Amino acid sequence: MSERIPTYVLGGTGYVAGELLRLIAGHPDLELKALLSDSQPGEAVGAFFPHLRTSWPDLKFSSLEALGNALAAEGRSLAANPAPGGRGERACALFSAAPHGVSAALIDGLLTRAADAGARVRAVDISADFRYSTAAAYEKVYKHPHGAPARISDFTCAVPEQLRDLRTPHVAHPGCFATAVLLASVPLLALKMIEPRLFVAGITGSTGSGRKPTEGTHHPQRHSDLYAYNALAHRHAPEVTACALAASGVEADFAFVPHSGPFARGIHMTVQATLTKSIDSGAAIAALQDYYKDSFFVRVDAGSPRIKNVVCSNFAHLSAAANGRSIAVTCAVDNLNKGAAGGAVQWMNRMLGLEETAGLTAPAPGWT
Counting Cβ atoms within 10 Å, is residue 307 exposed (0-12), middle (13-18) or buried (19+)?
buried
Q: How far apart are CA 156 and CA 177, in angstroms?
A: 18
CA dist., res. 92 & res. 89, Å (int):
9
Orientation angle between helical segments 176-190 and 281-291, nearest 10 degrees: 110
Q: Is 243 a catalytic residue?
A: no
Q: Which of 92, 176, 243, 312 is catalytic?
A: 176
Q: Quick count: other Cβ atoms within 10 Å of Cβ 150?
A: 10
End-to-end CA distance of the chain: 34
Name 164's Cβ contacts closer than 8 Å, sequence gap at least 6.
Answer: none
Is residue 266 a contact partner of residue 333, using CB atoms and an 8 Å limit? Answer: yes
Q: What CA–CA distances, in Å, run from 84 to 48, 88, 281?
A: 39, 9, 50
Residue 93's nearest CA partner among 112, 78, 108, 109 is 78
Per DSSP, what are the bridge partners of residue 203? Answer: 259, 268
Catalytic annotation, residues = 176
